[in-house]
Amino acid sequence: MTSKKNIGIVKPKIFKSLIPLKLQNGEILTEYNLIYETYGALNKKKDNAILVCHALTGNHHLAGRHSSKDKYPGWWDNLIGPNKPLDTNKFFVIGVNNLGGSDGSSGPKSINKQTKKSWGADFPIVTVEDWVSSHEALITSLNISKLAGVVGGSLGGMQAIQWSIQFPERINHSIVIAAAPNLTAQNIAFNEVARQSIITDPDFNKGNYYEKNRHPKRGLRIARMLGHITYLSDDVMGSKFGRKLKNKKYKYDFSTEFEIESYLNYQGDKFAEEFDANTYIRMTKALDYYDPSKGSKPNLSKVFKKIKSKFLVISFTSDWRFSPDRSKEIVKALLDNNIDVKYAEITAASGHDAFLMAEPRYHSILKSYFNKMLVN
């Protein structure tokens, strides 16, 4: 049963495109599928649609549940729903699983019609620009000429930026949260360590492991453990775990002794059972490649000249992976072009993961902005 603030049961839909998609690397996908979900209703003017772009390990399932037996709702359920900050009584919200994903959209796990086997390593590396092109095809199929807005956190925020550059006539607002205009060398380094942990796992088999039914879980769990360290702030890790031991005394061996070790092992094991390694390494590459400024800060202002949408940019004080300074780079380039932009730096202890949390001031800012979108 749906409550006044919950979505209830949702059913994924499939968009099947028979129009070839030329990718940034020059390859062509002759056809592809995108799995997506929608929440709320499209109004008669068709001007209340908001696309939500997911981050590295997200998907199309934003809110609600697929079954009453589901333990957890969609990954942004605290934000999206009736009377929530992104109010589905007012907006038609769209969530899509990106190309290369492992939750139903065309990707390495999909069947290649030519070989009759999983694509595996042969599935091309896709970019943020490719994702936005495929999103635009989906939006067109829904007979939506212009989006009220595109929202995203982290890698999703990069997609929101790219939407405003790539299709400036088809978007009114860009909401960019805990993101950056490109990755720093340190962030690229984190991604490379994660990829190498997967690629060097003997079960990876150069990306062709589906038919062997031996997935590179060891590599994937290490990649996730590394990721979790970067998503959390030192303060949160310290307050939650500190130097707490599972038992009262040291064992003087290499077993799991500290609670932080236990937490990371749990998260790694859980993720390795749920996510696809080929998808993970492709998503990290998309992060690495995204750079509309081509490595030059002055170029970002030049690229932003074509933007016509209004912006809301949000950062978090404890986010050291995509720090507030990176958000300010986006804001400066927008201001250089006299683009309407609002900026908020939220004091929060949760690190990069803060964009997923129901922090009161953060949600209050989003709710206020969304409410004004249909008026302006």
Q: Which residues contact 26 (CB under 8 A, 6 or more apart)?
A: none
CA distances from 196 to 15, 100, 183, 205, 214 (A): 33, 19, 18, 13, 18
Residue 319 annotated as catalytic: yes
Find the catalytic residue in 118, 134, 154, 315: 154
The token pair that represents 50 in the structure block:
């908001």
Residue 103 annotated as catalytic: no
Sign of CA dihedral 282, 321, 350, 194: positive
Q: Which residues contact 204 (CB under 8 A, 6 or more apart)?
A: 198, 216, 219, 277
The token pair that represents 189 in the structure block:
């380094």
Find the catalytic residue in 61, 135, 173, 352: 352
Q: Are 180 and 322 in contact (CB under 8 A)?
A: yes
Q: For 205, phi and psi rounded to 5 degrees?
A: 55, 45
Find the catalytic residue in 315, 319, 327, 353: 319
Q: Which residues contact 255 (CB under 8 A, 6 or more apart)?
A: none
How buried is residue 223: exposed, middle or buried, by Cβ count under 10 Å (0-12/13-18/19+)? Answer: buried
Which DSSP category does 121 fall into?
G
Beta-strand runs (E) in 147-258: 149-153, 173-177
Give the Cα separation of 37 and 26 in Å (integer).
29
**Strand pairing report for 117-118 and 111-112:** antiparallel
Residue 154 annotated as catalytic: yes
Distance of alpha carbon 303 from the chain centroid:
23
- Nearest residue to 37 via CA among 15, 69, 6, 5: 15
Catalytic residues: 154, 319, 352
